[in-house]
Amino acid sequence: MGGHTLKKKGRRLPVRKLKEVARLYLEFNLGIRPIARACNISTSTASIYVEKLKELGADYKELSGMEEDVLCNLLFPKTETTPVQALPDFVYLHGEMKKKGVTLQLLHEEYKRNNPDGYERTQFYHLYHNWIKKADPVMRFTHKAGEKMFVDFSGDKPHYQDPATGKSIDAELFVSVLGASSYLFARAVPDQTTVSFIDCTIRAFEFYGGCPECLIPDNLKAGVTHACYYDPEINRTLAAMAEHYHIAVIPTRIAKPKDKAKVENAVLQVERWVIAPLRNRTFHSLAEGKLIKEYEVLRSQFSVIDHILHVKGKFAFFYGVPRIF
């Protein structure tokens, strides 16, 4: 049967058959049962459409000349349905999920306290996970506050000039970043030895004012004796430091840069806002660099004004500072 169909409570009726119902009812004044038998439909369906025709109050001549879409809209106008339950604030939930100890179950319990008639747990979880997929289709890590500190050395190295020979000497730039807040710490050191690496890590702890639960380094030689995809072997000195500070050392997987995307981005920011602005400055030792930048801004809040870092919040860069923070 071609043409449009009208639907009511799961029953579909072709528009031409509806017009036949209208003709039998309006022209011949037949009852529900005769109309149902003549149109080969159930009496309940016939009753529904007869009631609709009564509500419409139009004669058959007028109905027969109507377009199918017009007739459909007249008999069954589309209504906007609004959800009865209050939708959760997904942006708020996403921010709360980053906090240590916060779970989706806890957030649902808080939501139900404020909205007793709101969504139950299963639907609440479903709505949140669907929102996450639409908000950002890329897989994201949810970092808890105080849980992880990512560390790495910059590939773009700062340098200083030997005052005796004039030779340019490359230094290493250590970078650390907290997982939840993206709070950065950077420091220039002479090399990537175990001593320098551990010294920088301890200075980062002192700068942040505490230790994370997990230290996430790359598979650098200063921290990992034997790099392995499944079971890397931690340097004994680094392991002793971890035991002293009561933290876990979890190296990233080999050739998996996404495991440490947080510190990769932090290194990029340090290269842009520390190394690049200092490219035309000449230093004759690491100690001479002293404290070049000490801004406290959140990474997501800075902007560039005449290629100078514009302070809006909290951020910290340190360059070759020979003292404890």
Residue 319: pLDDT band (50, 70, 90) is very low
When pLDDT is averaged across residues 111-115 and rounded to a whole number, the result is 91
* Domain range 5-75, CATH class: mainly alpha
Beta-strand pair 308-310/303-305: antiparallel
Residue 12 is predicted with a pLDDT of 53
pTM attached to this predicted model: 0.52
| pLDDT at 239 exceeding the cut of 60 | yes
Is the pLDDT confidence value at 306 over 50? Answer: no
- Flag whether pLDDT at 201 surpasses 90: yes
pLDDT range class, residue 168, cuts 50, 70, 90 = confident
| Residue 64 to residue 109: CA distance in whole angstroms | 57
Strands 308-310 vs 233-234: parallel, antiparallel or unpaired: unpaired
Average pLDDT over residues 7-17: 60
* Domain ranges, ordered by start, for the chain: 5-75, 90-135, 148-310
Look at domain 148-310 and name its CATH class: alpha beta
Least confident of 68-77, 209-218, 266-275: 68-77
**Stretch among 30-39, 59-68, 115-124, 192-201 having the lowest mean pLDDT:** 59-68
Rounded-to-integer distance, Cα 299 and Cα 324, Å: 23
